[in-house]
Structure 1
Amino acid sequence: MANLIGSLLIGVFAGMVTSDELRNTMNVLLATGFCGGLTTFSTFSLETLKYFKSGKKLLAWTYWVGSVIACICCVYLGLWFHSWL
């Protein structure tokens, strides 16, 4: 869930920068600082590895692919949401 929220927010912040609403320094702080701390890729990796190690290979692959696709969609949604504001 943290990866989805972080991806959504990073899309919003990226939209702000492209429309000159925030200076580049603020984008770095928000996008890489806040969102980077929020989205814990290590937790995602650990969960995926646990599924593989416990023999739940289909679940592991589904979780891995589904998470990546969902996060990319959330970044797109964040960019769209910003343009809607």
Structure 2
Amino acid sequence: MQAYLLVAAGGAIGSVLRYAFGVAVGRAWQGAFPLAILLTNIAGSFAMGVFVGLMARFLPSWAADARLFVAVGMLGGFTTFSSFSLDTVVLIERGELLQAGLYVLLSVVVCLIGLYLGLLVTRGVA
């Protein structure tokens, strides 16, 4: 149960941070390009890299709880793209380049297809 609470608390914080970040970028950027989402994904991926790097370097005794709260909760609530980026880099570092490429391709293409199909369902087309 504690694990779920850590993820939920971190997720709530990450979601609020994502919203605040998006509002701030939206005030500064009025263009049609989705800059707020792009910057959120970049910032979240950078933060995931820093966090995982620190965890690997120092490996504190509270690492499991910190991973749940920060990586899964906060950064997952801020942007799941950070988890996607971490999974991809881990595959690349393991030398699984084909798997990494397939993961990226399937994640992007199949998710876009899934979203489009969801829209079609709500529009009564599918």
User: TM class by shorter-chain length?
Assistant: 0.5 to 0.7
Which consecutive unaligned segments of at least 5 residues does structure 2 have? Answer: 1-36, 38-75
Task: Find the structure with the greater CA-based Rg.
Answer: 2
RMSD of the alignment, in Å? 2.6
Give the total of aligned pairs: 51
In 1, the alpha carbon distance for the partners of 2:115 and 2:124 equals: 14
Which consecutive unaligned segments of at least 5 residues does structure 1 have? Answer: 1-31
**Does 1:49 pair with 2:89?**
yes
What do the CA deviations read for 1:11-68 (whole angstroms, capped 9, x no partner)? xxxxxxxxxxxxxxxxxxxxx8xxx948611100100000000000000000001110
Alpha-carbon distance, 1:78 to partner: 1.1
> With CA pairs under 8 Å and 6+ residues apart, which has the higher RCO, 1 or 2?
1
In 2, the alpha carbon distance for the partners of 1:69 and 1:42 equals: 18
In 2, the alpha carbon distance for the partners of 1:44 and 1:61 equals: 12
